[in-house]
Structure 1
Amino acid sequence: MSKKKTGGWLESVKTIVYAALIAIGIRTVAFEPFNIPSGSMIPTLLVGDYLFVSKYSYGYSRHSMPFSPNLFSGRIWGTTPERGDVAVFKLPRDTSQDYIKRIIGLPGDIVQVRRGILHLNGQPLRRESLGPFVAEGDGPRMTVQQYREFLPGGRSFLIIEQSDDGPLDNTPEFRVPDGHVFAMGDNRDNSLDSRVPSAVGMIPIENLVGRAEFIFFSVDGSARWWEVWGWPFAIRYSRLLSAVR
């Protein structure tokens, strides 16, 4: 009887260990979940969104693994991201922190913002006004302007602006060095990104964790964890399983 109990206990431990190893493997090579704690990517991503990031999109670096062990440098099967990708990366000055922004500049590009208009390699990017947008979930609720911005090649996405004369609406020229990318938040006046060298600056491609693919869950924060009766009403059903563009 004692042997049976011991055997049963060992089998349970083995099952747990195998399950943990499989989960770590999937998280390392395939998909990793992330949640959005701030509003720097509004309107594309909202506070309370939960999304999956594909780890294979740009190849693998030490940051693809939990705790970023210093096992090797560079990327294995690495590819350069495309302009417009929404990517998770390790903050260059503190790799324990994950940031998510949109890739705007690639190695060799010159990026500048003038009066709120993004310029890439000396050319202003076209943007179309879509009217007012109510931004909430990250500080006071406010009405801002929403635009559709177009990258070279026609890829487009939504951004919001409080004004075209804020601290981040007029910048010097930034030349993206080899092995780096330049990223910005879609909430252009409320994002610490590559426009702020002391906070983020240029992002080494090695620091890229993966590309944001789709939102699998989203809550608006109206129900606290113990308010079980409010959970169904706090879910943003329209955002479930929506692609990140």
Structure 2
Amino acid sequence: MLKIFKNKISEWKQFKKDLKQTNKTKYLVYEAIETILVALTLALIITRFIIQVSVVPTGSMIPTMIGGVEGHPNERLIVNKFIYKFKTPKRGNIVVFKSPHKDNKDWVKRCIGEPGEIIEIRKGVVFVNNKELVLVGVDVQRDRSDFGPVKVPVDSFFMLGDNRSASQDSRYFGFVRKSDLVGQSLFTIWPLNRMRWLR
């Protein structure tokens, strides 16, 4: 099979070489088509398996990311789709996952709880395994609610929005399964004045 493929490539190269000498215009058309096909194939592979652009759909991650706010453009993120094929989200990662409502939309939240951990919220303060959660450099908008305690199941994660009082998250729809993870948010690309790496 590999030998046949190599032969076809050699034949194609020879065809182009001959064409370049006999019909320059036709050669340039073939070159342009070949370049476009290669670029489209690479783009398809990259967006299917490696990265994608996601839109922040709601205001649940304010002030970290803007979405769903009238008068402000929803931020666009570059998402690493490859990373969670080999490892799992860590606490503090901003994760994109499939909507719990099965509506073909992606949601963006912060990973708070990993498998086997006990999550509890007391008057808006998050505790993981009975220790207060401190995320250095993360500005969280707390509410005064209580939740749990709950234990995160195997192959599942507990996700919260940074804007706790306006976030539909694991407190309401439950745990996010590993199979529903899309990827990790790396940085914002839009709007231009808010381009930055995410933490």
TM-score, normalising length: structure 2: 0.76
Matched residue of 1:17: which SS? helix
Query: Residue deviations 1:158-195, cap 9 Å, x none?
Result: 1113x42xxxx112222110011110000001011100
Match of 2:189 in 1: 216
| Residue 184 in structure 1 maps to residue 160 in structure 2 | yes
Matched residue of 1:195: which SS? helix
Match of 1:204 in 2: 177
CA distance in 1, matches of 2:25, 2:162: 57
Match of 1:52 in 2: 78
| Residue 35 in structure 1 maps to residue 55 in structure 2 | yes
1:98-177 equivalence runs, <5 A: 98-125=106-133, 150-151=134-135, 155-161=136-142, 163-164=143-144, 169-177=145-153
User: RMSD of aligned C-alpha atoms?
Assistant: 2.3
Question: CA 1:207–1:95 in 2, change beyond 3 Å: closer, same or farther?
Answer: farther
Mark the runs of 5 or more structure 2 residues left unpaired by the alignment: 1-22, 68-73
Matched residue of 2:165: which SS? coil
8 Å CA contact 2:57–2:107 kept in 1: the answer is: no
8 Å CA contact 1:92–1:204 kept in 2: the answer is: no
Matched residue of 1:29: which SS? helix
8 Å CA contact 1:101–1:186 kept in 2: the answer is: yes
Query: Residue deviations 1:102-152, cap 9 Å, x none?
Result: 000000011111111111112233xxxxxxxxxxxxxxxxxxxxxxxx14x
8 Å CA contact 1:90–1:96 kept in 2: the answer is: yes
Question: CA 1:95–1:174 in 2, change beyond 3 Å: closer, same or farther?
Answer: farther
Aligned pair count reads 171
CA distance in 1, matches of 2:157, 2:26: 54
Deviation at 1:196, TM superposition (A): 0.5
TM-score, normalising length: structure 1: 0.62
8 Å CA contact 1:35–1:49 kept in 2: the answer is: yes
Identity of aligned residues (%): 33
| Residue 81 in structure 1 maps to residue 78 in structure 2 | no
8 Å CA contact 2:56–2:107 kept in 1: the answer is: no
Higher strand share: 1
Match of 1:244 in 2: 198
Mark the runs of 5 or more structure 1 residues left unpaired by the alignment: 60-77, 126-149, 219-235
Deviation at 1:217, TM superposition (A): 1.8
